[in-house]
Structure 1
Amino acid sequence: MVRTAAFYFKEAIDIFIVYYIIYRLILILKGTKALHILGGVFLLAFITFLSKLAGLDATFWLLQQFWLAGIFLLIVVFQPEIRNTLANLGTNPLGRIIVPSEFRFISEVMDAVRVAMTEKMGMLIVLEQDMGLREYIESGVVLNAEVSKELLLTVFHHNTPLHDGAVIISGSRLIAAACQLPLTERQDMSKILGMRHRSAVGITEITDSIAIVVSEETGNLSVARNGSLMMKANCDDIEKELISLYKSKAQKTVFRKTNRV
């Protein structure tokens, strides 16, 4: 049988769909006991496959009996997760599928930035990219919390003990606050720029991270990347660029993993 390009395209789509379903399932079960049970189920399925492949008839028959009865047991065990998943899909079926949850934190960050700009609340937010920021995370207070507008505004409120340092976000998690960052040694930067701006440039000079700064004096937004500082940036434009960047990274990751399969 001659396999055409259309056949290989169909196979690629098939693999991608299976990968995406498993990926979303792991995200849904992440942090629950059901995730460990799911790992055991996958292991048992693999053993079943091997027993059939190796011609172990008795073992294969025994495992078949388990699967016949076990499917009902799994439904009972995963009942809370199944209920929550169906509820989420029912509430926003299109958004949950098309817009991955890992991109929603960007909107939370930029909503907090908009409030900070209006109220002239100083902010320094570092978005970790491919290079790890463990050294700087360890200099602050570890939070490891879900990113939200409310949490960011609380952290950077001038009466809180965490507002002076930087917040570091990795993926969609706020990893740490009150982090100390290296200052740039550039002499050509304006003397009116404060510690937050110099820290933003400093961290992006030696890592591939992105630093977002809101000036406490003017309320202006600045963004640093690759050691360059964009001042008086437009909030909407920055949000669009960040979403585009993270979507591009996610697509590259998915295709790399799909190719390995």
Structure 2
Amino acid sequence: MYWDYFIKTLDLLLVYYIVFRLILIIKGTKAMQVVWGIFILILITFSAKALQFNATFWLLQQFWFAGVFLLIVVFQQEIRNALANLGTNPLARVFVPQEYIFIPELISAIKEGSSSKTGMLIALELDMGLREFTESGIKINGEVSKDLLLTIFKDGTPLHDGGVVISANRIVAAACQFPLTEQKDLSRIFGMRHRSAIGLSELTDAIVLIVSEETGIVSMARNGKIMQHVDMGELEKTLFEIFKGKFEKSLMRRSQRK
């Protein structure tokens, strides 16, 4: 008996969680307006049945029979885009906590930047604040997205020179100036972006990602060291592990304060 209650409770919690995550995904989009419209139609349908408005109820039934196909036709582009995004990480959009939901978008941007040889310099803030560096750039305070990152680093745009700082799941600033490393034994293949990335990683605990505009090679600087030819799958896995640990430490600090 207790097992049945447990299964039913778990089932309800899972449904609640999935619905909650889906609402977060479509919030502020055209799809959200459609969801509200469908919700209103559901209320009208139940009301028509309860009040025995037979003609109205029959008409609404016909709508529900064809409604699924109509929605697929009307929102085929949105559905295609959603499936494409889910393809990079099938569970990311639904099951990844908001504290590091930006990672799939970041990885997608870096992949495309690498393919198109778009130079990129992106610093991910961890425990040490990067405020002194964000103040040297242009404030953005925008949600992390592939399109926004690619727009920022597009050659010829006002913000493409300098680095982007990501903190608390948001792009805090762009066109930021990072300190150059003073290491004398660095290879000449490393340009200003790479030297700035290493310099910032020497002074802070930030993870700094670089895409070379000459070769498209992706590199990562951390603790004053740089690693080239970074595998995208491994990078995504590493970032999830790092930010999961950061989130868990943050929760522990909050509980200790209480």
| TM-score band w.r.t. shorter chain | 0.5 to 0.7
Instruction: State the distance in 2 between where 1:167 and 1:105 align.
Output: 14
| Partner in structure 1 of residue 243 of structure 2 | 246
Does the CA contact (< 8 Å) of 2:198 and 2:221 recur in 1?
A: yes
SS at match of 1:158: coil
| Partner in structure 1 of residue 125 of structure 2 | 128
Judged with a 3 Å threshold, the aligned counterparts in structure 2 of structure 1 residues 157 and 96 are, in CA distance, closer, same or farther, namely closer
Give the TM-score, by structure 1 length.
0.63
| Superposition deviation, residue 257 in structure 1 | 2.5
Instruction: Encode CA deviations 1:37-58: one digit per residue, 9 max, x unaligned.
Output: xxxxxxxxxxxxxxxxxxxxxx
Identity, % of aligned positions: 51
| Superposition deviation, residue 143 in structure 1 | 0.6
Instruction: State the distance in 1 between where 2:192 and 2:108 align.
Output: 23
* Cα root mean square deviation, aligned: 3.0
Judged with a 3 Å threshold, the aligned counterparts in structure 2 of structure 1 residues 95 and 200 are, in CA distance, closer, same or farther, namely closer
| Superposition deviation, residue 255 in structure 1 | 3.0
Q: 1:118 aligns with which of 115, 119, 131?
A: 115
| Partner in structure 2 of residue 230 of structure 1 | 227
Instruction: State the distance in 1 between where 2:198 and 2:242 align.
Output: 19
Instruction: Encode CA deviations 1:129-156: one digit per residue, 9 max, x unaligned.
Output: 1111111101100010001000000000
Q: Please list, as runs of the form range in 1=range in 2, the aligned pairs for 1:178-197 lying within 5 A after superposition.
A: 178-197=175-194
Q: 2:199 aligns with which of 198, 202, 219?
A: 202
Instruction: Encode CA deviations 1:40-95: one digit per residue, 9 max, x unaligned.
Output: xxxxxxxxxxxxxxxxxxxxxxxxxxxxxxxxxxxxxxxxxxx8xx9xxxxxxx97
Instruction: State the distance in 2 between where 1:164 and 1:209 align.
Output: 19
Where structure 2 has 5 or more consecutive residues not aligned to the other structure, the ranges are 1-16, 25-35, 40-90
Judged with a 3 Å threshold, the aligned counterparts in structure 2 of structure 1 residues 157 and 97 are, in CA distance, closer, same or farther, namely closer
The alignment status of 1:137 with 2:134, answered yes or no, reads: yes
Q: Please list, as runs of the form range in 1=range in 2, the aligned pairs for 1:45-60 lying within 5 A after superposition.
A: none
Instruction: State the distance in 1 between where 2:233 and 2:93 align.
Output: 23
| Superposition deviation, residue 171 in structure 1 | 1.3
Q: Amino acid of the residue matched to residue 107 of structure 2?
A: M
Instruction: State the distance in 2 between where 1:158 and 1:98 align.
Output: 35
Judged with a 3 Å threshold, the aligned counterparts in structure 2 of structure 1 residues 95 and 132 are, in CA distance, closer, same or farther, namely closer
Q: 1:167 aligns with which of 164, 167, 178?
A: 164
Does the CA contact (< 8 Å) of 2:120 and 2:209 recur in 1?
A: yes
| Superposition deviation, residue 100 in structure 1 | 1.0
Q: Amino acid of the residue matched to residue 138 of structure 2?
A: V
Moved more, 129-138 or 205-214: 129-138
Q: Amino acid of the residue matched to residue 158 of structure 2?
A: P
SS at match of 1:175: strand
Instruction: State the distance in 1 between where 2:187 and 2:92 align.
Output: 44
Give the TM-score, by structure 2 length.
0.64
Instruction: State the distance in 2 between where 1:255 and 1:207 align.
Output: 22
SS at match of 2:101: helix
Moved more, 178-187 or 95-104: 95-104
Q: Amino acid of the residue matched to residue 203 of structure 2?
A: I
